[in-house]
Amino acid sequence: MDRRNFIQKATLAGSLTSILPSLNATPQKKNLDKVRLGFIGVGLRGRSHIEQALFSQDVEINAICDIDPSSINITLDQIKKAGKKAPVVYNKGDEDFLNLVKRDDLDGILIATPWQWHVPMALAAMKAGKYAAVEVSATVTLQESWDLVDTFEKTGSNCMILENVCYRRDVMAILKMVREGMFGEMTYAHCGYQHDLRGIKFNDGKGNGVGVEFGEKGYSEAKWRTQHSVDRNGDIYPTHGLGPVAHWMDINRGNCFTSLTSTSTKSRGLHKYIVDHGGKDHPNAKVNFKLGDIVTTVIQCYNGENIVIIHDTNSPRPYSLGFRAQGTEGIWMNDGNTIYIEGVSPKAHTAEPAGPILEKNDHPLWKKHAKSAENAGHGGIDYFVFRGFVESIKRKTAPPIDVYDAAVWSAISPLSEMSIARGSSPVEIPDFTRGKWKTNKRIFGLNEDY
Ligand SMILES: NC(=O)c1ccc[n+]([C@@H]2O[C@H](COP(=O)([O-])OP(=O)(O)OC[C@H]3O[C@@H](n4cnc5c(N)ncnc54)[C@H](O)[C@@H]3O)[C@@H](O)[C@H]2O)c1
């Protein structure tokens, strides 16, 4: 394929994709005009979802729940400033969310709490007949992944994992190109969460970036996230990288993960940060962190592809999710944003800037909504993930990222811990679809609607 044909193929395929009918929509059912939401957990992330809700004319915020009075107060202020009516507040302790889910003026419940609360809250919401949306990672243990799937199958209530990175403009353009065969047959992908979180795992209890406290004395994620680095060694945050790659590889829809191995480096970064910023006599300098600085996981897929995921949150480094998409005919590399397509790229063995090709292959969803997304968090992706949840509730249909995705993407964490504990032995990845992956059809990125 020469360069011109390649670009023509891309453009033609792009226009065909954009006129495909909305496959998820079921026209015989009347769509809801308004979606009534409850929010559990209105810390930093919950409030960014509240922001999206306040921008949306078709969303009502009817109830919020949090155990922290300051989270509640900041959120009430945020809602008041937007000129919207005050929601009912649930703030009477860890289990008050059980009262929120019972309300009959809620269609959906968005959960943005510490990881260990995601599943108990999602199960309660689903059992109460509500659409659940749960932040990443969805689950902490394998049993929790099964509980999500079993509860969905028993109740019919949907659960969407709010993996916003699936909507990144570049990874969606790559998704379109992968589906159109521009990389040939996919063989390999590389991804990860490479984000220096040291100034978030430790702070002074008031804001991020200063201090070396965590736990009760910490602020926001330092209150709860850091303890996972004390107790666990594995890829404890896999879904930002894995979500987009799972779509490229058709996981749960014609393909599945079969096994993984994980290997970790020694743990140095967190201890060094405490000593450098709090002194060697600070009580936290005695804490033993289990989490290796860099954890590398290799997943084997049923159709023969390999996926490498890197978890790196304890080291000084620039932010990168490190995506790479490799097929039999070419490669895209996120770091440096370069691409090489054999027979198409102008110079053999030489990558070219990917920007112009990604632009030509802009996904129809981005083409249509770029303007609306422009001010939303994380470069616009927070707009899309929130709309995905709201639009599926309005259409009374399954979300574009479903409970089986939530279950298997999140299960990589406990499985990687298991592999490391067994000296990097291979560990089987359960099939949460119970065989349905063989016939399931794609659900993500099918149209320009949501
Ligand atoms: N997708 C993304 O880009 C992204 C970004 C940041 C965080 N996250 C995820 O969002 C979630 C929340 O993270 P965050 O940064 O907002 O943390 P945070 O600590 O700022 O907020 C968590 C909130 O949950 C509340 N909470 C704790 N236990 C509760 C309970 N039993 N009932 C009600 N409320 C409770 C806390 O008081 C707090 O206000 C995490 O799962 C995190 O991984 C995702």
Give the number of other CB atoms < 10 A from CB of residue 90. Answer: 23
| Residue 156 zone, left/alpha/beta (φ > 0; ψ -120 to 50; rest) | left
Which residue minimizes the CA distance to atom 19 of ligand 1? Answer: 220
Which residue minimizes the CA distance to atom 31 of ligand 1? Answer: 94
Q: What is the pLDDT of residue 114?
A: 98
In the sheet with 131-134, reading across from the earlier edge strand, the strands are: 88-90, 59-65, 35-40, 108-111, 131-134, 159-161
Q: What is the pLDDT of residue 30?
A: 87
- Per the listing, tokens 């193929």 go with 9
Q: What is the pLDDT of residue 60?
A: 98
Q: Ligand 1 centre from 45 Cα, in Å?
A: 6
Which residue minimizes the CA distance to atom 11 of ligand 1? Answer: 112
Q: What is the mean pLDDT of residues 361-372?
A: 97
Contacts of 437 (CB under 8 A, 6+ apart): 251, 252, 253, 254, 255, 256, 302, 431
Question: CA 243, CA 376: separation in Å to the nearest integer?
Answer: 20
Question: CA 51, CA 323: separation in Å to the nearest integer?
Answer: 29
Is the peptide bond between 262 and the residue preceding it cis, with omega within 30 degrees of 0?
no
pLDDT at 121 over 80: yes
Pairing of strands 338-341, 306-312: unpaired
Ligand 1 binding pocket, CB closer than 6 Å: 40-46, 65-68, 71, 94, 97, 112-115, 117, 135-136, 162, 164, 220-221, 223, 378
Alpha-carbon dihedral 5, 6, 9, 14, rounded to 10 degrees: -140
Q: What is the pTM of this model?
A: 0.94
Question: CA 8, CA 133: separation in Å to the nearest integer?
Answer: 39
Q: What is the mean pLDDT of residues 376-389?
A: 96
Mean of all residue pLDDT scores within the chain: 94
Question: CA 39, CA 47: separation in Å to the nearest integer?
Answer: 9
Q: Ligand 1 centre from 194 Cα, in Å?
A: 20
Q: Residues 7-17, buried b or exposed e (16+ Cβ, 10 A)?
A: beebeebbeeb
Q: Ligand 1 centre from 42 Cα, in Å?
A: 7
| Helix 142-155 × helix 115-127 angle, to 10° | 10
3-state helix, strand, coil in the chain (%, to 5): 40, 20, 40
Residue 269: name the closest of 191, 192, 201 by CA.
201
CB 119 within 8 A of CB 62: no
Confidence of residue 28 (pLDDT cuts 50, 70, 90): low
pLDDT per position as a tens digit, 36-59 = 999 999 999 999 999 999 999 999
pLDDT per position as a tens digit, 232-285 = 999 999 999 999 999 999 999 999 999 999 999 999 999 999 999 999 999 999
The ligand 1 atom nearest the CA atom of 220: 19
pLDDT per position as a tens digit, 207-235 = 999 999 999 999 999 999 999 999 999 99
The ligand 1 atom nearest the CA atom of 223: 19
Give the least confident one: 28-37, 145-154, 253-262, 361-370.
Answer: 28-37
Q: Ligand 1 centre from 66 Cα, in Å?
A: 10
Which residue minimizes the CA distance to atom 39 of ligand 1? Answer: 43
- Per the listing, tokens 């900041």 go with 74
pLDDT per position as a tens digit, 429-439 = 999 999 999 99
Q: Ligand 1 centre from 407 Cα, in Å?
A: 19
CB 296 within 8 A of CB 180: no
Q: What is the mean pLDDT of residues 124-143?
A: 98
**How many Å is the maximal CA-CA distance in the chain?**
68
Q: How far is CA 95 from CA 41, 124, 398, in A?
A: 12, 11, 28
Q: What is the pLDDT of residue 8?
A: 44
Give the number of other CB atoms < 10 A from CB of residue 125. Answer: 29
The ligand 1 atom nearest the CA atom of 65: 33
Which residue minimizes the CA distance to atom 34 of ligand 1? Answer: 66
pLDDT at 6 over 90: no
Which residue minimizes the CA distance to atom 10 of ligand 1? Answer: 112
Q: Residues 22-38, buried b or exposed e (16+ Cβ, 10 A)?
A: eebbeeeeeeeeebbbb
The ligand 1 atom nearest the CA atom of 71: 39
Query: To test the ligand 1 pocket, which listed residue (40, 113, 208) has its Cβ within 8 A of the most ligand atoms?
Result: 113
Q: What is the mean pLDDT of residues 156-176?
A: 98
Q: What percentage of the chain carries pLDDT values higher than 90? A: 93
Q: What is the pLDDT of residue 387?
A: 97
Residue 116: name the closest of 238, 236, 206 by CA.
236
Q: Ligand 1 centre from 38 Cα, in Å?
A: 15
pLDDT at 23 over 50: no
First to last CA, the chain: 32
In the sheet with 257-264, reading across from the earlier edge strand, the strands are: 352-353, 338-341, 330-333, 324-327, 186-194, 306-312, 294-301, 257-264, 427-428
How big is the CA angle at 198 (ends 197 and 199), to the nearest 5 degrees? Answer: 90
